Amino acid sequence: MPRTHGVPRGHKKRAERGPAGRPPSQRPTKTPRPPQLERWQAIIDGKTCPICLDLHGRIYPKHEGPRPPIHFFCRCQRVSFAVIQ
């Protein structure tokens, strides 16, 4: 009795090693994020104190630098934005 398992002869010996083992070279560890920055935004009018006037428009990294309010009735805020490189 011939031993046939439904596999035609000569069709084996191929795909023993498929392209499964990919080299782990291009694995993204962390998506590089643009630095988070914040700009000091003062309300410029007649009551703006010189400190805030001086700080107005300054750019700080998100977790660094002074944070409003820096005095009584300070109306400043820090507006965050991302730098697109």
Choose between 52 and 78: whose C-beta lies nearer to Zn ion: 52
Choose between 38 and 52: whose C-beta lies nearer to Zn ion: 52
E-assigned strand segments in the chain: 36-41, 59-61, 77-82
Confirm if 40 and 58 have CB atoms less than 8 A apart.
yes
State the minimum distance, in angstroms, from the CB of residue 26 to Zn ion.
48
How many residues contact Zn ion, by CB under 5 A? 3
Does 37 sit near Zn ion (CB under 5 A)?
no
DSSP letter at 68 equals S
Encoded amino acid at 53, one letter:
L
Binding site for Zn ion (CB under 5 A): 52, 74, 76
